[in-house]
Amino acid sequence: MSASFIKRLQVPPSQRRSLFMGLLFVSPWIIGFLLFTVYPLVASIYYSFTRYDLLRPPVFIGLKNYTQILTDDPIFPTVVYNTLYYVILSAPLGVVAAFLLATLLNTKIFARSMFRAIFFFPAIVPAIVVAMVWQFLLNVQYGAINATLQGLGLPVVPFISNPAYAKPTLIGIHMWAQGSAMVIFLATLQDVPRTLYEAATVDGANAFHKFWHVTIPMCTPVILFNLVMAFIAGFSNFTLPWLLTRGGPNNATEFYAIFLYRNAFQYLRMGKAAALAWILFVIVVIFTVILFRSSARWVYYGGSD
């Protein structure tokens, strides 16, 4: 090793002092990152190969948790079906609902600011409040929705107590609570150049043509972003289904996150729960990669060919 190279590696005292002060200031974040992100991540990988119940030391069992989940668990196929059913329908429908709502609220309508606040309100309300409101609205005996149906001479619908209606009901509630995505779309719509609409008007385009050929293409990058976030959130959906149905009726809403929670905190199968978490991680990565690979065909970035 040459003397010149060693000399270049030497740090002057002033720089060492600056480096030390910088590390000192960011040390709380570094410690928190190591303790609350890196360590749980590494520990979950280890626990996924063990039999661990929080009461006794973990016992290494290799791939048995994974093989038991994928081949011997009688509920796991139902959980996967319920989750895929919910995600594949709720993610695109939620994005469509948010985009159409944002498009409507981007037009010059009466009390536009008030309507924007009303439709954004579900995004800031705690999930427990949302669940209580919808339990009241959907109740078979005294719910407002079924009371309206009875008033119109229609039969009562057991929205969350019938296995056939439970998942579609949760999807409908998801479409209703799209305030965050709506705000993102609103910001995007306001950034679309007015000159494109003017050029389309000169070419004889009507409102639908401008929406289809100008608005949607210019918003496709944000549509992709909201779609990816919706898929990730759908796979990890837990709070609202748990509060409304507890995975029922008859396991109709036993989603992946609920199944993982049961194994971890009800059955104390921490090893199996860790394996379920890593299987879910792989599934989410696969879906995300598919979305990004397909985006080259339908996402338009301004200025690209």
pLDDT of 6 strictly over 70: no
CATH at residue 187: 1.10.3720.10
Return d(Cα 176, Cα 184) in angstroms, integer.
16
76 and 57 within one domain: no
86 and 59 within one domain: no
81 and 52 within one domain: no
How do residues 20-68 score in pLDDT, each as one tens digit? Answer: 888 889 999 999 999 999 999 999 999 999 999 988 999 999 999 999 9
Report yes or no on 5 lying in a domain.
no
Quick one: average pLDDT of 132-137? Answer: 92
Tokens of 111: 């009390």
Number of Cβ within 10 Å of residue 82's Cβ equals 23
Q: What is the pTM of this model?
A: 0.88
How do residues 202-245 score in pLDDT, each as one tens digit? Answer: 988 898 999 999 999 999 999 999 999 999 999 999 999 999 99
**Residue 260: which residues within 8 A CB-CB, separation 6 or more?**
273, 276, 277, 280
**Residue 254: which residues within 8 A CB-CB, separation 6 or more?**
75, 78, 79, 82, 247, 248
258 and 112 within one domain: yes
The rounded Cα 23 to chain-centroid distance in angstroms is 34
pLDDT at 22: 85
Question: How many CA atoms within 13 Å lie on the side-chain side of 237?
Answer: 32
Return d(Cα 149, Cα 57) in angstroms, integer.
56
175 and 76 within one domain: yes
Lowest pLDDT segment from 91-100, 194-203, 234-243, 295-304: 295-304
Coil vs helix vs strand at 73: coil
Report yes or no on 2 lying in a domain.
no
Return d(Cα 246, Cα 253) in angstroms, integer.
8
Question: How many CA atoms within 13 Å lie on the side-chain side of 203?
Answer: 12
77 and 57 within one domain: no
Write down which residue in 64, 82, 102 finishes a domain: 64
Tokens of 205: 């385009």
- The total number of structural domains in the chain stands at 2
- C-alpha to C-alpha distances, 123 to 126, 133, 229, nearest whole angstrom: 8, 14, 15
279 and 152 within one domain: yes
228 and 159 within one domain: yes
Report yes or no on 304 lying in a domain.
no
Find out whether 14 and 248 touch, Cβ atoms under 8 Å: no
Going by pLDDT thresholds of 50, 70 and 90, the confidence category of residue 13 is confident
Find out whether 119 and 182 touch, Cβ atoms under 8 Å: yes
**Residue 166: which residues within 8 A CB-CB, separation 6 or more?**
159, 160, 245, 248, 249, 252, 253
Share of the chain above pLDDT 70, in %: 95
Report yes or no on 4 lying in a domain.
no
211 and 87 within one domain: yes
Report yes or no on 239 lying in a domain.
yes
Going by pLDDT thresholds of 50, 70 and 90, the confidence category of residue 8 is low
Write down which residue in 49, 64, 79 finishes a domain: 64
35 and 174 within one domain: no
Report yes or no on 7 lying in a domain.
no
Residue recorded with tokens 């860790």: 274
76 and 45 within one domain: no
Coil vs helix vs strand at 107: coil
Find out whether 175 and 93 touch, Cβ atoms under 8 Å: yes
Helix (H) or strand (E) holding 50: strand 50-51
Report yes or no on 20 lying in a domain.
yes
Between 59 and 3, name the one with better pLDDT: 59
Domain that holds residue 262: 70-298
Write down which residue in 26, 43, 64 finishes a domain: 64
Find out whether 280 and 235 touch, Cβ atoms under 8 Å: yes
Nearest to 58 by CA among 260, 256, 279, 268: 268
pLDDT at 222: 94
99 and 226 within one domain: yes
Report yes or no on 240 lying in a domain.
yes
